[in-house]
Amino acid sequence: MQTILPHGGTLINRLVNQAEAADNASVKKVITIDEWTLSDLDCLAIGAFSPLTGFMNEADYRSVVETMRLADGTVWPLPVTLAVDPLVYADIQPGDRVLLRGEDGEDYAVLHVQSCYEPDKEREARQVFRTADQAHPGVKKLAQKPGLYVGGPVQVLKRPRPKRFAEYYLTPEETRESFARQGWKTVVGFQTRNPVHRAHEYIQKAAMEIVDGLFLNPLMGETKSDDIDSQVRMKSYLALLENYYPKQRVLLAAFPAAMRYAGPREAVFHALVRKNYGCTHFIVGRDHAGVGDYYGTYDAQHIFSAFEPGELGIQLLFFEHSFYCTACQGMATAKTCPHDASLHLTLSGTKVRELLRSGKTPPPEFTRPEIASILIEGLREQR
């Protein structure tokens, strides 16, 4: 049973068979890629980034930066690029085949070079992140990248092996098969880089009232240093699903990508990726993929008005900020609660992290006790 077409109409698969892998063993030029790039490569391999078949060539890169579209007009909001040191790799030319090797010494892919180009990183920062301030983690990461981009399709020889929770690293083909097997015609996707707190739980369950299933798809790639460790987060998701969700209506799977913190543009990116995994609906809450004060509270919802109705091919569910109301005695938003803000219990993620790091349990109206215990223990182990 087909629920929804992938972005661009075809689910990309860049993993090669053993014969093709052996044929590529003779490639001599080698680029060593970091963990961030390796996570992007994994997403390219399995089709999570469909319709991309590799790292962006110059035409696609410049079009995406300026218009949020690939050169052929297909909506795509974020650059997916391979940056290399121009002094070390000055001899790479279009037409070359280059081996992509991880920092672990493993050979992961062959890149068929289409273009080598110098990005305007300040322009990229201002367009993608809406700021050139290097206090922004996405801008800082961009500034640290080398100054030459190499683009072209990839043939992926193998996927990286996760250290833990490998059984949750499902491909879009596998998640689509799971949805079909369970008879889910409508599926809502939820992106998170944080442990699920009561506000998240509230909007997820509200969305579950109108669809067949929930796809909880936590990001497991690189995040900023003060975010909760991905392994600890995964343990918290498992505990939450075990105790508070109907098992037959939720699928948990890891999203290998790194976090960009690109706010509105990243919200569009997250929606399209979940469409590739087979979701028909996607939740966008307050400050989606935001950081600091760089974006307005609901900018990540407003950006979707830049596209024609139906152009993205996935239905967006916009939710307002939710809180626990002591008068209502439950979770609510400004749309459903008539009471004064003084009766609302709201804790910022920063405040919750401060409580957890001091070994204090946040109130149950904000975080389930089981989740708080896992987070406190995880932070203790990280010290």
- Catalytic center residues: 193-194
Tokens of 108: 């992961």
SS3 state of residue 6: coil
Q: How far is the CA of 295 from the CAs of 50, 130, 274, 291, 374, in angstroms?
A: 27, 8, 23, 8, 31
Q: Assess contact for 26 and 107: CB atoms under 8 A.
A: no
The torsion of the CA quartet 104, 110, 111, 112, rounded to 10 degrees, works out to: 170
Neighbouring residues of 225: CB distance < 8 A, sequence distance ≥ 6 = none
Tokens of 203: 């909007």
SS3 state of residue 76: coil
What values do phi and psi take at 42, rounded to 5? -65, -40
Q: Assess contact for 368 and 198: CB atoms under 8 A.
A: yes
Tokens of 350: 């920063």
Q: Kindly state the helix (H) or strand (E) to which residue 345 belongs, with its residue range.
A: strand 344-345
Letter for the amino acid at 328? C
